[in-house]
């Protein structure tokens, strides 16, 4: 099963001695773009084509703390595929298997003229691939 | 009504030309600690006393984008006060009054011996003040 | 004398308990853009006009540490104005007057067609203003 | 020859479309701690032993820009070993071999009682290893 690894950096910690909670939102992005690239959708190429994908919402539950130099493993799944919005789910685990983060994010997609894309019509290949990933998770 | 202002920094933008979505989680922290300080609870002093307050969860809805050099106004309210957990709610507005962010965060509190505090018993002054703020919002 | 103030944020600290050293490079940018705006050169407007200003070099000496919730005062001066490059100098002080940072940065400017600007010819108003600030510091 | 790789993250870019210049200071830290670990000096373990190593100065020359999703290769060398201070040098290259960054940083070391360490006396193994790395670069 696909997973993405992130090694906590010293500069990602705060004076509480743990990884600052805002950074996990960044790790979600890292893992999501890597996951999409793994499935044939390179975000950098999509962006060159003029397609951009703003984040609509995030939610994140902090189950256990991490710190430098922990390595965390991030499992990404496609949660729900709707007409104009996709939800990704994230599970992050520490090396010992402890779940540290449960999270999700929603994204819409803009076409090159800045309008919100109808995924099925505007990006049929992407829509179908995400549908399959949502079913097979 | 109390509000906190944050001027978007150039380094808070990303190549999409907008404020990176992870930064709003940081602005929530800025606004929350300022809000608590305004109401007599200086987080730096609490921390010196050995009280730390980990974030249990965050959620954030992105309603409109912002960018450098926008100034955003952040309204913080106490959402819910429970035995061991407090929820804060956030509304962020752009200069023209557009709501850009609706968000909330949950926090627990640890006593100096690292145990999860029962707010009413362990920090009665703080508990009562938060209760009042929750009622009067 | 002009100065810019930055209040250290919790998320700018690291597990050593102090402001992470990389953040001062960001404070330099904050102070520099504010300083230029104060002198009539709004960086956001320059950028809208297609003028961009990459950083050529930075150097930073860490003389004393700071931490949340210190407020630091940043003094910016124009160090040297050359044909295609400007140097800014920075002195950062803590509330008690202690110098915490001595730094400088060099910047070039690109014209709208992406070429390195000759400041005197391409941006004469800006060149002259910077010259004056360099002399009067 | 030892090198460290960093893949530029989307959140490390700014609205100029390039990696924000402050981030390279963070990549230097990543590469330096990895380099030291590679040579048997795990910074996390040193810190657990109470040894901390503040940054005394950094300097960084920006020779070429990078952006998401570039991968950069970072070469770290020990520049100079003095009684109480070590300088590290950094060369960062893009995938096509272009040098994007030339940088250096100076570090002192504090003993567990908070005093500046005399490296030869206080950490003889570390001192000797760094000396050798400085000679063989």
pLDDT tens string, chain A, 137 residues long: the values are 889 999 999 999 999 999 999 999 999 999 999 999 999 999 888 888 778 899 999 999 999 999 999 999 999 999 999 999 999 999 999 999 999 999 999 999 998 888 999 999 999 999 999 999 999 87
Do the Cβ atoms of C130 and C105 come closer than 8 Å? no
Strands B55-62 and A99-108: unpaired
pLDDT of D21 above 80: yes
Contact C15 A20 (CB under 8 A): no
The reported pLDDT for the residue numbered C137 is: 77
Question: What average pLDDT score do residues D99-113 get?
Answer: 94
pLDDT of D53 above 80: yes
Do the Cβ atoms of B68 and B10 come closer than 8 Å? yes
Contact C22 D26 (CB under 8 A): yes
The reported pLDDT for the residue numbered A27 is: 98
Q: Which residue has the tokens 């949340």?
A: C68
Chain D interface mutation, best of B10, B11, B14, B18, highest count of D Cβ atoms under 10 Å? B14
Residues in chain D: 137
Catalytic residues of A: 14
The reported pLDDT for the residue numbered C47 is: 83
pLDDT (tens digit per residue) in C60-88: 999 999 999 999 999 999 999 999 999 99
Residues of D in contact with C65 (CB under 8 A): 54
Contact B69 C43 (CB under 8 A): yes
Residues of D in contact with B11 (CB under 8 A): 14, 20, 22
How many Å apart are CA D34 and CA D132, to the nearest integer? Answer: 18
- A112-121, B37-46, C49-58, D56-65: which has the highest mean pLDDT? D56-65
Residues of C in contact with A20 (CB under 8 A): 11
Do the Cβ atoms of C6 and C23 come closer than 8 Å? no
CB-based contacts of D124, cutoff 8 Å, min separation 6: none
The reported pLDDT for the residue numbered C119 is: 93
pLDDT (tens digit per residue) in B80-136: 999 999 999 999 999 999 999 999 999 999 988 889 999 999 999 999 999 999 998
The reported pLDDT for the residue numbered C36 is: 95
What percentage of residues in chain D have a pLDDT greater than 70? 100
The reported pLDDT for the residue numbered B90 is: 98
The reported pLDDT for the residue numbered A70 is: 97
Residues of B in contact with C42 (CB under 8 A): 69
**pLDDT band at residue B75 under the 50/70/90 scheme:** very high
Please tell me which residue of chain C has the smallest CA distance to B44: C69
In 3-state terms, what secondary structure has residue C95?
coil
The reported pLDDT for the residue numbered C33 is: 96
Q: Which residue has the tokens 């600030």?
A: C133
pLDDT of B5 above 80: yes
Question: What average pLDDT score do residues B27-35 get?
Answer: 97
**pLDDT band at residue D129 under the 50/70/90 scheme:** very high
**pLDDT band at residue C4 under the 50/70/90 scheme:** very high
CA nearest neighbour of B99 among B117, B121, B73? B73
CB-based contacts of A2, cutoff 8 Å, min separation 6: A35, A38, A75, A76
pLDDT of D137 above 80: no
- Structure tokens that stand for B45 in this block: 């002093």
Q: Which residue has the tokens 């500046």?
A: D116
3-state SS, one letter per residue, for chain A? CCCEEEECCHHHECCCCCECCCHHHHHHHHHHHHHHHHCCCCHHHHHHCCCECCEEEEEEEECCCCCCCCEEEEEEEEEEECCCEEEEEEEEECCCCCEEEEEEEEEECECCCCCECCHHHHCHHHHHHHHHHHHCC
**pLDDT band at residue D133 under the 50/70/90 scheme:** very high
**pLDDT band at residue B73 under the 50/70/90 scheme:** very high
Tell whether B40 is within 8 A of chain D (Cβ): no
Chain C interface mutation, best of D15, D16, D44, D99, highest count of C Cβ atoms under 10 Å? D16
Which whole-number Å values give the CA distances from C107 to C28, C100, D101, in the listed order? 12, 23, 15
Query: Taking CB atoms and an 8 Å cut-off, how many pairs form between chains A and B?
Result: 52
How close is the nearest chain D Cα to the Cα of A70, in Å?
A: 10
Write the DSSP string, B113-130: TSPBP-HHHHSHHHHHHH
- Looking from the CA of B114 toward its CB, the CA atoms found within 13 Å total 1
Which whole-number Å values give the CA distances from D44 to A11, A127, B25, D33, D113, in the listed order? 13, 44, 27, 9, 18
The reported pLDDT for the residue numbered C48 is: 80
pLDDT of D72 above 80: yes
The reported pLDDT for the residue numbered A17 is: 93
CA angle B58, B61, B62 (to 5 degrees): 130
pLDDT of D50 above 80: no
- Structure tokens that stand for D74 in this block: 């970072």
Write down the catalytic residue from C14, C89, C96, C122: C14
The reported pLDDT for the residue numbered B47 is: 83
The reported pLDDT for the residue numbered B95 is: 98
The reported pLDDT for the residue numbered C136 is: 86
**pLDDT band at residue C52 under the 50/70/90 scheme:** confident
How close is the nearest chain A Cα to the Cα of D122, in Å?
A: 24
In 3-state terms, what secondary structure has residue C135?
helix
Contact A14 C18 (CB under 8 A): no
How many Å apart are CA D55 and CA D52, to the nearest integer? Answer: 10
Contact B14 D10 (CB under 8 A): yes
- Structure tokens that stand for B5 in this block: 């202002």
Does the annotation mark C14 as catalytic? Answer: yes
Which whole-number Å values give the CA distances from C132 to A94, B108, C29, C71, C80, in the listed order? 57, 54, 21, 30, 11
Domains of chain A: 4-135 (3.10.129.10)
pLDDT of C49 above 80: no
- Structure tokens that stand for D63 in this block: 């020779």
Tell whether A15 is within 8 A of chain C (Cβ): yes
Measured over all CA atoms, what is the biggest interatomic distance in chain B, rounded to whole angstroms?
49
Q: What are phi and psi of B40, to 5 degrees?
A: 95, 5
Question: What average pLDDT score do residues D13-41 get?
Answer: 96
The reported pLDDT for the residue numbered D45 is: 84
CA nearest neighbour of B82 among B114, B58, B113, B116? B116
């Amino acid at each position: 099963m696909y997973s993405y690894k992130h090694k906590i950096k010293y500069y990602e910690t705060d004076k509480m001695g743990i990884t600052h909670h805002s950074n996990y939102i960044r790790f979600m992005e890292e893992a999501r773009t890597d996951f999409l690239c793994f499935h044939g959708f390179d975000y950098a190429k999509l962006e060159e084509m003029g397609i951009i994908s703003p984040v609509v919402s995030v939610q994140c539950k902090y189950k256990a703390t991490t710190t430098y130099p922990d390595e965390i493993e991030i499992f990404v799944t496609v949660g729900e595929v709707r007409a104009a919005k996709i939800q990704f789910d994230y599970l992050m685990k520490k090396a010992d298997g402890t779940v540290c983060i449960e999270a999700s994010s929603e994204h819409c997609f803009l076409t090159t003229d800045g309008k919100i894309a109808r995924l099925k019509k505007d990006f049929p290949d992407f829509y179908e691939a995400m549908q399959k990933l949502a079913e097979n998770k």
